[in-house]
Structure 1
Amino acid sequence: MATNDHHETFPWKHVIGFVLSLVLTFAALWVVLSSGLATKLIIGIIVILAMLQASLQLFMFMHMTESDSGKIQTINMAYAFFIAIVIVIGSIWVMWFVV
């Protein structure tokens, strides 16, 4: 019976990714609740932390570097990014005209 060593080891990569995600989340929470910085600076820091966390999750949990079919994965990521942008811009557009 052939065994795959990849599935028998402890998932250190996932644990490290989870801990780093928690650190980034708590850093954003601290910036908002306790930093006392200007609102525009807080928003900028939150955006940077969000981009860091999104890229961390792409590489740690979504296995961006582990695929043999890089072209298909790139197309899927571009499509997902497009959908996210449409949702965000559409939501802002709707809220702009409702208020």
Structure 2
Amino acid sequence: MNASDDHVHGHGDTHGHGTRRDYLIGFALSAVLTAAPFWLVMTGALGDPRVTAAWIIALAFAQIVVHTIFFLHVNTQAEGGWTLLALLFTLVMVAIVISGSLWIMYHLNSNMMSMPIRPEAAAGPP
């Protein structure tokens, strides 16, 4: 196996693409980060469901990072850093939309007027 065998071919060049070793590391990490939450839930290893949920969320974020680095090749060198900048812009926009939506839903819920039920309306038609 020589150095050219270690690159993944397909577009005529290997700029921006990972090596076979990078893909295997990414696959192994993804498999572990997929199996770990199943193991946590099926065995009940942590006991508290809230702690288990927190670990599952943390492992999900770790898997997002693994996929971004090993499979999407988003880093500071790829395309002069523009892919990383586009990813950061997207994350900021998603955070604004999600936090704004939660803020609106919270305030709509807390500011809704409660309507008293009239006894004649609750009984139905005569």
Global fold match (TM > 0.5): yes
2:71 to 61, 65, 71: 61
Corresponding letter in the other structure for 1:47: I
Q: Which runs of 5+ in 1 are unaligned?
A: none
Equivalent pair of 2:74/2:84 in contact (CA under 8 Å): no
Counterpart position of 2:52: 42
Identical pairs, percent: 22
- Provide the TM-score with structure 1 as the length reference: 0.68
Corresponding letter in the other structure for 1:78: L
Q: Which runs of 5+ in 2 are unaligned?
A: 10-18, 110-126
2:46 paired with 1:31: no
Larger relative contact order (CA 8 Å, sep ≥ 6)? 1
| SS class of match (2:78) | coil
Q: List per-residue Cα deviations over 1:32-53 (Å, max 9, x = no partner).
A: 1212421110111011111111
Q: Per the alignment, do residues 33 and 88 of structure 1 end up closer, same or farther by CA in structure 2, a change over 3 Å counting?
A: farther
- Provide the TM-score with structure 2 as the length reference: 0.56
1:22 to 31, 54, 59: 31
1:52 to 42, 58, 62: 62
Name the CA distance, whole Å, in 1 between partners of 2:65 and 2:41: 21
Counterpart position of 2:89: 79
